[in-house]
A and B are shown apart, each in its own frame.
Chain A
């Protein structure tokens, strides 16, 4: 992942296409509207395909030509993916679709629209905003506000803590396991899987919280991207709490367009699988991501069918049952993360083989005890912040408690953050 100055042109082209398309969509009659929408979507997606998916298709064609024995030129297509492309193209698409649906007026001010796509706190890895939320705010006059500033700084502080102290300290252990899965036994690999679940969560939560905090300190409210996803009782709930801006994007623009749940059950299942497969493919041009998405889709369908046909199970409600559901969901999600983290299907197989075969206690894996303590602190903080946000939680605390928390977080960020450089995981998407 590089910053290549020429790539700003790509951003400019995407902005220009959708800016013009939206104006034409708004001005045109129904049949032309659709044409402009399709042109806009195709053009925007084409940019994404060229930079993100072309080599994937190329490699698959090569494999297919070997399998079926037809001629296909074996050329390597090496294109560097512009940072944040998947995010700002989706944000752009969301704008034209909303204009098409009549939920949003086409923006005439090119500067304001450009700012909507390029709003720096969330340009690189989201949250993927909707025009109804962000575009409106960009037109408002903003003044420095002490409350916004302090809330923004609180969020930045918490974001730095989860990224630098939790995610980065876990990252080196996860990297060890995935670099040489054959070297490790069952217990180590399970530890690695457990750590990765929190690494990716804290890494992305950290970025999103900092982004929301940056925007907040300037007076802009961005949508929350996470709501304690590991306390979800099922996969459906998990996706309402994890990367909310993306899952709601797919729900609003793909799932509903396919008919949502107002179709026959077989068709509904296909819709679910399409949405989850696309969601996986959005993350990366690799079969591992597609299978990762499908695995979530499959479990989601199983859970939904169970709720539908075995309603008594759903009716069982008490703390212990909830805890069981939460544990089950966490374990499932953690295992499926293997597909997300692995660089290839082969690595997935190797890791699973080691997990199942290397059942011995003489494991090489050493984890610094302080990492467990940090993780414990984070899980506790995630529990305390259940369905709330750090800035909101702070605002109802007494000042001595609030400041004590600030001091502890600042001290931990400075003294316990990893010295190794781990870029945000979602930078690669």
Chain B
């Protein structure tokens, strides 16, 4: 009896310890760990803090652009332009999928303003190649601290690697096994039984040029298409189905409107390279997803075949990265579908004709300005990052925009930014550059140490520049700091505003 009492006392002591330790950890080191290992949570916090009513969850398809795009907005920004009266937010994390989206959505508090959630439904993400991708381990790791358990328990799970952790070799073996073992079923007899055979068949027979010679890049691309799309979703076993089901259940519980944005795939290319059997599988999978989630009252926007081959950015790989027109098609399609939820807030004219006259980068959000490689976390005015120049980094974060849509009356550019100069003994310049086929190249540099005379502190610089008369003919305006010296200069919170 005594020993039972002793053991009981020790158990109580342990429980007390864990409660206390959890309290201490939560209020001391947890946030630091979150920032180190799960920084994606900041995206969720931002949408909640901003009071977003509609949030868009996507992977790189949301914000990947092509270098010649005039309109560099992401899909979510384009959708938001159709609903000017609604507060929009986005959570974009590269290579993520429904499992990650679910974990992130769970972190949105009940008290938030979120009413509608748009989630990208990426067909490729149902394939074994993505399910067992080598990116999965870091992705799963980044989600552990965000689980809805006590912080100390989450840290325990992280410490003991209690998540789907596998080496790249193990992952490769997993998807190769799936490609071999999952038999493909067609309405008519087909010579390949599974993805592995099909892939090898194409690799051996090859794609030929008109003159009969072997076209290696096209053969490789055809193989990619087979490996990416040659699968049949088993709703009983496919982990993505389970993840989307969990998202659906969560949305129901939270009373959110749920929209699945079935992303466009390059069906034209799949057809021309591989043929009708692959299209059969793509359509079959599409039908499975659309009918499944429509029956669960999810608004499914089917964009699968809406974007043409020319709008796909990656030419030697299968992705959902669209150029400007492609993003606009997807955005418009989603925006139109949202009319079912917000019939009176939809505004087509504004979104199409709205002219942006103000641009801003705090060096934090992944908007695509030039020279993003200069971002550093060593020192910043706001947030974590700023842009570092000097010591072989000649150009700072660069604003680059087409001037074609600006009315002629807007001929002033107001440039505002924070600067941190380690010393004033340098020759760095604030540069406004205008270029285009119809005007002479115009390069205007202004000495930075005359615009700001403070060193080793952050100082606000405000400068107005009058555009030359022929500026509307310029195709591109660029604003940046040019610093070919060895002096380190940081800039942050760069704002460019066009004014009449």
Find out whether the CB atom of A415 lies under 8 angstroms from the CB atom of B13: no
On chain A, which size bracket covers the interface? 10 to 19
B1 within 8 A of A: no
Find out whether the CB atom of A411 lies under 8 angstroms from the CB atom of B169: no
Find out whether the CB atom of A410 lies under 8 angstroms from the CB atom of B141: no
Residues of A with C-beta under 8 A to B156 = 414
Find out whether the CB atom of B17 lies under 8 angstroms from the CB atom of A415: no
* From B3, B13, B141, contact of A403 by CB (8 A): B13
Chain B, residues 219-234, CB within 8 Å of chain A (1/0): the string is: 0000000000000000
Q: A159 to nearest B CB, angstroms?
A: 14
If over half of B's interface residues share one DSSP class (helix, strand or loop), that class is named, otherwise mixed; here it is helix
Find out whether the CB atom of B169 lies under 8 angstroms from the CB atom of A2: yes
CA distance A313 to B29 in the complex (A): 52
Residues of B with C-beta under 8 A to A146 = 3
* From B13, B24, B161, contact of A421 by CB (8 A): B161
CA distance A403 to B12 in the complex (A): 13
A167 within 8 A of B: no
CA distance A419 to B159 in the complex (A): 6
CA distance A421 to B167 in the complex (A): 10
Contact A164:B21 (CB < 8 A) given known A146-B3, A419-B37: no
Q: A214 to nearest B CB, angstroms?
A: 16
B281 within 8 A of A: no
B476 within 8 A of A: no
Q: A129 to nearest B CB, angstroms?
A: 28
Q: B376 to nearest A CB, angstroms?
A: 14
* From A403, A411, A417, A421, contact of B21 by CB (8 A): A411
* From B29, B141, B165, B169, contact of A415 by CB (8 A): B29
If over half of A's interface residues share one DSSP class (helix, strand or loop), that class is named, otherwise mixed; here it is helix
Residues of A with C-beta under 8 A to B169 = 2
Q: B422 to nearest A CB, angstroms?
A: 16
Name the residue on B nearest A165 (C-beta): B159
Residues of B with C-beta under 8 A to A164 = 159
Q: Which of B138-172 contact A (CB under 8 A)?
A: 141, 152, 155-156, 158-159, 161, 165, 169
* From A2, A413, A414, A419, contact of B141 by CB (8 A): A419
Q: B162 to nearest A CB, angstroms?
A: 11
Contact A413:B3 (CB < 8 A) given known A407-B17, A419-B141, A421-B165: no
Residues of A with C-beta under 8 A to B155 = 414-415
B293 within 8 A of A: no
Chain B, residues 163-204, CB within 8 Å of chain A (1/0): the string is: 001000100000000000000000000000000000000000
Q: B284 to nearest A CB, angstroms?
A: 35
* From A407, A415, A417, contact of B25 by CB (8 A): A415
CA distance A164 to B156 in the complex (A): 12
Chain A, residues 152-183, CB within 8 Å of chain B (1/0): the string is: 00000000000010000000000000000000
Contact A414:B152 (CB < 8 A) given known A419-B141, A419-B159: yes
Count A/B pairs, Cβ under 8 Å. 31
Name the residue on A nearest B141 (C-beta): A419
Contact A413:B165 (CB < 8 A) given known A403-B13, A419-B141: no
CA distance A414 to B26 in the complex (A): 13
Residues of A with C-beta under 8 A to B29 = 415
Find out whether the CB atom of B17 lies under 8 angstroms from the CB atom of A410: yes
CA distance A413 to B13 in the complex (A): 18
Q: A190 to nearest B CB, angstroms?
A: 25
Chain B, residues 1-24, CB within 8 Å of chain A (1/0): the string is: 001000000000100010001001
Q: Which of A395-420 contact B (CB under 8 A)?
A: 403, 407, 410-411, 413-415, 417, 419
Name the residue on A nearest B173 (C-beta): A2
Residues of A with C-beta under 8 A to B159 = 164, 413-415, 417, 419
CA distance A413 to B21 in the complex (A): 12
CA distance A146 to B13 in the complex (A): 18
Q: B11 to nearest A CB, angstroms?
A: 13
Find out whether the CB atom of A419 lies under 8 angstroms from the CB atom of B165: no
CA distance A418 to B255 in the complex (A): 39
Residues of A with C-beta under 8 A to B158 = 419
CA distance A146 to B7 in the complex (A): 10
Q: B482 to nearest A CB, angstroms?
A: 26
CA distance A417 to B156 in the complex (A): 9
Residues of B with C-beta under 8 A to A403 = 13
Q: B151 to nearest A CB, angstroms?
A: 10
Residues of A with C-beta under 8 A to B161 = 421
Name the residue on B nearest A411 (C-beta): B21
CA distance A215 to B205 in the complex (A): 58
Q: B12 to nearest A CB, angstroms?
A: 12
CA distance A146 to B29 in the complex (A): 36
Residues of B with C-beta under 8 A to A410 = 17, 21
Q: A248 to nearest B CB, angstroms?
A: 33
Q: B264 to nearest A CB, angstroms?
A: 37
CA distance A421 to B140 in the complex (A): 13
Chain B, residues 23-46, CB within 8 Å of chain A (1/0): the string is: 011000100000001000000000
A-B contact pairs, 30 of them (CB 8 A): A2-B169, A146-B3, A164-B159, A403-B13, A407-B17, A407-B21, A410-B17, A410-B21, A411-B21, A411-B24, A411-B25, A413-B159, A414-B21, A414-B25, A414-B152, A414-B155, A414-B156, A414-B159, A415-B21, A415-B25, A415-B29, A415-B152, A415-B159, A417-B159, A419-B37, A419-B141, A419-B158, A419-B159, A421-B161, A421-B165
Q: List 10 tightest A-B contacts by C-beta distance, closest first.
A: A417-B159, A414-B156, A407-B17, A411-B21, A419-B158, A414-B155, A414-B159, A415-B25, A415-B155, A419-B37
Measuring CB to CB, which residues of chain B are less than 8 angstroms from any residue of chain A?
3, 13, 17, 21, 24-25, 29, 37, 141, 152, 155-156, 158-159, 161, 165, 169
Measuring CB to CB, which residues of chain A are less than 8 angstroms from any residue of chain B?
2, 146, 164, 403, 407, 410-411, 413-415, 417, 419, 421
Could you list 15 further interchain pairs (A-B, Cβ under 8 angstroms) beyond the known A403-B13, A411-B24? A164-B159, A407-B17, A410-B17, A411-B21, A411-B25, A413-B159, A414-B21, A414-B25, A414-B155, A414-B156, A415-B155, A415-B159, A419-B158, A419-B159, A421-B161
